[in-house]
Chains A and B, each alone.
Chain A
Amino acid sequence: MNIKVYTPDVLDEAVNFLQQDGGHIIAGGTDLIIELRKEKLKPEFLVDLTFVNELRGILVSDETIEIGAMTTFEDLINSEYIKAELPSLWECAINMGACQIQNRATIGGNICNAAAAADSIPVFMALEAECIIAGADGIRKMSIDSFILGTGKNSLQKGELLKAVAFKRPQKSEINSFAKLGKRNALAISTIACAVRVKVDNRIITEAFVSTGSLGSKAGRELGVEVYLMGKSITDLNIDEAAEVLSAEVEERLKSRASIAYKKHAVKGVFKEAIEKCIKRANQ
């Protein structure tokens, strides 16, 4: 395509290249290469992060989990820790597309492209993740909710890149899950994702985090149903009632859109699937 490509090995070097005008980052490339070919993007140069090893990997410490931006969905699928402790993230990864895409697509790319249907975003929102951003002046952090501005828009300033996402390590009392309707390549209208995380004390839900994707211009937390879940017993939860609360919330938000008739209905099924997985896990 006759574009200059820088291939830095270390983070500082990558950030340095990005200080010039007209550059664009390439992470896995599974979305970007299509955009370049269609000339939707015409960068003067690319900064290829493939060789910046410090951006790839899953760091599990006592308190936190940090996932490097260049970590692939395959890396998540292969991680025993993620599979055991973060089924929401693992299920999102295994359902995100064909192997060829999972092997190349990265967490950072998925977040920064901020597609309305980017599955990892609701999962990280339910985990209250923070985005760690590297720039010429060092590191800054912000919640993923404020990092994503809307479809295709993130909060990176010129010269910055997403280094990692980090969140609190799930405690014993926490359960999380993910469900999704529709497949990749299906019309975006039919892809709805839902991530649920609850903290449970003696069977009672003490905190709830529910987020959805593809129901609006950006993924987001569903506060109404979170409030509904709080204080309820996870074993005798009225799932239908909870789903109605969520559906009403979605309807209120999207009422002017043509897709609402379908979406307010479909979201119930996706949510129920996710919460049922949580209940099953609570009973294990």
Chain B
Amino acid sequence: MHVEALKEKISFKLNGKEIEVEADPSMRLIDFLREVLGLTGTKEGCGEGECGACTVIIDGSTANSCLVLTSQIKGKELYTIEGLQKGEELHPIQQAFIDAGAVQCGFCTPGMVLSAKVLLDKQPEPAEGDIKRAISGNLCRCTGYKKIETAIKMASDYMKKDGAE
């Protein structure tokens, strides 16, 4: 027996562009991004909201895309890691992660960078406690976090300079 997949048109803003896609609204957002849209920068670790590898930005706030249904993003503004880079140029946060040596296996990096982005958008000069809190939902098995915290501080400086130019 062939069961027709329940698809409907989902329109929302992705990485700055309005898009409309046919999809199963009960699909998890992470599957929608990776399998339907081919955006594989968003990673799946635990699938249960514990690791933050699947972090995306929805209407300016971070979310675990393994715990969001596609129906929930209709009309929303979504950012994934693919939306940060401008052409060839890395986003200052990405650059800071590389410069600080905060990327080892890289699995946690997209999520970390997006958590850092939301933090820096709200608080351009975060205190150490703010940084810790912002990434408390992002697990990293490689770096021990110190370098990630350094990277976020560096990113804050880079962005200040960018802004000043």
Q: How large is the interface on B (under 10, 10 to 19, 20 to 34, 35 or more residues)?
A: 20 to 34
Q: How large is the interface on A (under 10, 10 to 19, 20 to 34, 35 or more residues)?
A: 20 to 34
A to B contact number (C-beta, < 8 Å): 91
- The answer to whether A30 and B72 have CB atoms under 8 Å apart is no
B70-88 CB mask vs A (1 if < 8 Å, else 0) is: 0110110000000000000
Residues of B within 8 A of A2 (CB): 3, 5-6, 24, 26
A2-37 CB mask vs B (1 if < 8 Å, else 0) is: 111101000000000000000000101110011011
Name B1-53 residues within 8 Å CB distance of A.
Answer: 3, 5-6, 24-28, 47-50, 52
- The answer to whether B67 and A29 have CB atoms under 8 Å apart is yes
Question: A74 touches which one: B61, B67, B69 (CB < 8 A)?
Answer: B61
- The answer to whether B55 and A100 have CB atoms under 8 Å apart is yes
CA distance A50 to B68 in the complex (A): 11
The verdict on A3 contacting B134 (CB below 8 Å), with A98-B52, A99-B62, A103-B62 known, is no
14 residue pairs from A and B, CB less than 8 Å apart: A2-B5, A2-B24, A29-B69, A30-B49, A30-B67, A33-B28, A34-B67, A46-B26, A48-B69, A98-B136, A98-B137, A98-B138, A101-B64, A104-B64
**12 more A-B residue pairs beyond the given contacts A26-B72, A99-B136, with a C-beta to C-beta distance below 8 A:** A5-B69, A26-B71, A29-B69, A33-B69, A34-B49, A37-B28, A46-B26, A99-B118, A99-B134, A100-B137, A101-B67, A103-B58
Chain B residues within 8 Å of A, Cβ to Cβ: 3, 5-6, 24-28, 47-50, 52, 55, 58, 61-64, 66-69, 71-72, 74-75, 115, 118, 133-134, 136-138
